[in-house]
Structures are given as C-alpha cells and as structure tokens.
Amino acid sequence: MTPKLNPARPWPTWGHLGLACALAWAGAGSAWAEGAAHGAAKAAPATRSAPPNAAAGRSPATIVAPATRRAAAPAPAPVPDDVPLPADTAAASTDPLEHLRQRLADRLVAPKGATASGSFDVRISTRSGLQPPSAAAAHGAAPSRARGGKVAHGPGAGAVHWGYEGEHGPAGWASLRPEFGLCKTGQRQSPIDIRGGLAVNLEPVKFNYQDSKFSVVDNGHTVQVQLQPGNTIDIGGRKFELQQFHFHRPSEERIDGRQFEMSLHLVHKDEQGRLAVVALLFDEGPANAVVQEVWNNLPLERGDARPARQPLALTELLPDDRRYYTYMGSLTTPPCSEGVQWVVMRAPQSLTAEQIGIFSRIYPMNARPVQSASGRRILQSD
C-alpha cells in the first residue's frame, strides 16, 4: 500500500532545513550572550545596546531602533517545545514550517540581565588587557635632577640628564645615551691644554659684529645669550654666523697649564652646518660692561628666556689684541660632536670679583676637564 501524506504536515523542504539551522545558531548565540552577561557583572565592562528583534507583525529579520532608553524589563523565557501554544496560534502550529519559525523567534529573545532599552536588547561585554596610560606616561615624566643641581629642560626633559658632577658628570656622559659615545671614544675632543702652538702668519679673524637685540636664558647647564641674526665672522675665507654665546666657570681652555676664572664661548655656524667657536678668557680685574648687561637681564626662572630692552654692543666683548690659537676639536658638552674649529683669543679679558660671584652662585662649576691633545696641530698667530 502506498503511504499517504498528511496535507497538514508535509515533508520537510529546504526552507524547513534552513530554519532548523537558524534555530540551532540562535540557541548557541543565546547561550553565548548569557555567558557574556554573567562575566560582565565581574568585569564592570562598557555596555552596548543592540537593536531589538521584530515585534508582532514584523518578520524576525526586521531590526528596529529603540525610541527611548528606559529601565530594564525582565526578558521573557524561551518557550519549551512541549508547552502547548495558545488557541489562536494552534492552527498555525500544525504547519512544521510555521512551528520552526515560531521557535526561532522565541530563541532570539534577550538573555537574563539585559539592561538596554528594551526586552529584546542584548548586553555585550568587552574586555581589554590594555591599561590606560598613567599621567606620567601621557604628559612626560618630571624632569630628572643630576647631581650638582642640573635640571633637564627642552626636548630631552624627563630622560637621563647630563651634568658636571657625580655619575652624570663628564666621566659618565658616554654611558648616558648612545649618541654621547664620542665623549669617550672621540680622538679630537675639547677642551685641551694649549701648548707648543706653531707660530705662523695667520690671517686675522674678521669680526662683523653689530649692536644686537638679545635674550638671556638659564638652560640648566649655563647662562646663554640668544642673538638676532646678522653677526658674522670670516676665518680663512669661510663665513660663519653667530648663533649664541654662553659662559663656563672656571675656564675650560688652558694655556700652558694655566686655567682662568671664566671663559665665554661664541658659537658660529656656516651654511654647510660646520661650527666655529671663539673662546674668550677672563681673569679677575676691572668690570666688563657687556657681561654686566647680561647679568642685568637674568631670568627669574630656569628655562625662561628674558628679552632685553636694550641692544647688546657685541664688539665691546672682544679684546684689543686679536691674536689667537686655532685647532680642530669638538663640542665641550654632549654629544661631543667633532669637526669644530676652535679660535681661542690669546689676550684674557677681565671681570670683577662681584661679576664672577654672580655666575658662581648659579653655576659654581660647569667646565669639562681638559682632553688629550692626541698629537693635534695647534697654530698661533704672530
């Protein structure tokens, strides 16, 4: 006998199988969402509200945005397979396809603990292993202080800082940063003790200085004077422009073993970036009007630049005797870059004890020890 099909319960179709797969997926998703909601209570995570499922009269695939946020409502429990449906849906449930559709809609109900804007919302828990940066990391660590009272300023503030005493002093500069390596390994380092210069007929240094606007800054290593452009020197046919000048106590340079009370370095640069430094030496004696003008414009705070109201008469800094020594050396501060031409004026200038004392109270000692001459050629003008 050929079996007869019940018209009310046809054989499953591909649509039936598709809905069955969707039902299984929805069940797994519901279980995952319940686990996420349970973990959210411990981690206190951020919450995101997903749009609710379709209400009556819409397809389960329809998404509608909640109109307003309201207090959480208890989520209806999923309908088990063995619970009879209401009378008004009993007729529809005789169709297996409609039965699967109804079960799928029930499975998509939100898990317990949902706190978004509707009974069909899902609470999503997110966790991150990243911690928010500390204030120090976000804004930079506080400036470190090297022994000797030198405080870091500028782009390198917060990093290991160099000074003139202790572990951060000249003997340890090379170990503070990789770019300071030449401070230990360089073969043409400055300052040096100038001895046995070759007396030759050197061309005089041409100073093209003029009265200039300036500002004074305590940069954490010395008192430095910033100048407006336009001041130059000419050495052997090469032109260098004055960038700034600053002070050291005692003098970094020595002549035949003699060290002076202070020294002043006028730093110049040419168009190719090469440096030339003119060093002036100071002993105790009569007052120096130009240096006093610098002291009169000292800033109140370290790191602040104080613009002066009156221009500075730069030519009055220079000695009447323009004879000099010259040799190739380096910067006397980190990174100790080499290839610097040094011009050391042979005739010392003078400062009063009071003028020397003003700088000494700010920087009692900021001079690098003399370095090996390493057989360098030193020339001196007649």
At 136-171, the pLDDT tens digits run 333 333 333 333 333 333 333 345 689 999 999 999
How confident is residue 88, by pLDDT bands cut at 50, 70 and 90? very low
CATH value at residue 193: 3.10.200.10
Residues with Cβ within 8 Å of residue 91, at least 6 apart in sequence: none
Determine the pLDDT at residue 117.
Answer: 42
Of 98 and 19, more confident = 98
**Does 270 reside within a domain?**
yes
Catalytic hit among 99, 221, 246, 265? 221
**Is the same domain home to 177 and 206?**
no
Question: Is residue 38 among the annotated active site residues?
Answer: no
**Is the same domain home to 215 and 177?**
no
**Is the same domain home to 305 and 343?**
yes
**Does 85 reside within a domain?**
no
Mean pLDDT: which of 83-87, 130-134, 209-213 is highest? 209-213
**Is the same domain home to 376 and 347?**
yes
List alpha helices for 220-332, DSSP H.
289-295
DSSP letter assigned to residue 172: G
**Does 2 reside within a domain?**
no
**Is the same domain home to 321 and 359?**
yes
Of 287 and 16, more confident = 287
Max alpha carbon distance in the chain (Å)?
135
Q: Is the pLDDT of residue 123 over 60?
A: no
How many CB atoms within 10 Å of residue 129? 4
CB 36 within 8 A of CB 124: yes
Determine the pLDDT at residue 334.
Answer: 97
d(CA 249, CA 49): 69
Taking the complete model, does pTM exceed 0.85, yes or no? no
Average pLDDT over residues 357-378: 97
Which tens digits make up the pLDDT trace of 305-360?
Answer: 999 999 999 999 999 999 999 999 999 999 999 999 999 999 999 999 999 999 99
Reported for 28-36, long-range contacts at CB under 8 A and 24+ positions apart, including other chains, are 30/78, 30/107, 30/108, 30/109, 30/111, 33/110, 33/111, 33/122, 33/123, 33/124, 34/111, 34/112, 34/113, 36/123, 36/124, 36/125
**Is the same domain home to 113 and 221?**
no
Of 257 and 26, more confident = 257
DSSP letter assigned to residue 30: H
Query: Looking at 25-34, 190-199, 209-218, 342-351, which range is the least confident one?
Result: 25-34
Q: What is the mean pLDDT of the chain?
A: 75
CB 317 within 8 A of CB 250: no
Determine the pLDDT at residue 346.
Answer: 96
Determine the pLDDT at residue 175.
Answer: 95
The tally of domains found in the chain comes to 3
Determine the pLDDT at residue 348.
Answer: 97
Q: Angle of helix 96-107 relative to helix 14-43, nearest 10 degrees? A: 10
Q: Which residues form the domain of 167?
A: 143-185
Determine the pLDDT at residue 105.
Answer: 61
Query: Looking at 49-63, 198-212, 282-296, which range is the least confident one?
Result: 49-63
Residues with Cβ within 8 Å of residue 347, at least 6 apart in sequence: 319, 320, 321, 323
d(CA 146, CA 143): 10
**Does 10 reside within a domain?**
no
Q: Is the pLDDT of residue 90 over 70?
A: no
CB 122 within 8 A of CB 33: yes
For residue 250, cis peptide bond before it (omega within 30 degrees of 0): yes
**Does 104 reside within a domain?**
yes
- Quote the tokens at residue 99: 């039965």
Determine the pLDDT at residue 96.
Answer: 58
**Is the same domain home to 366 and 353?**
yes
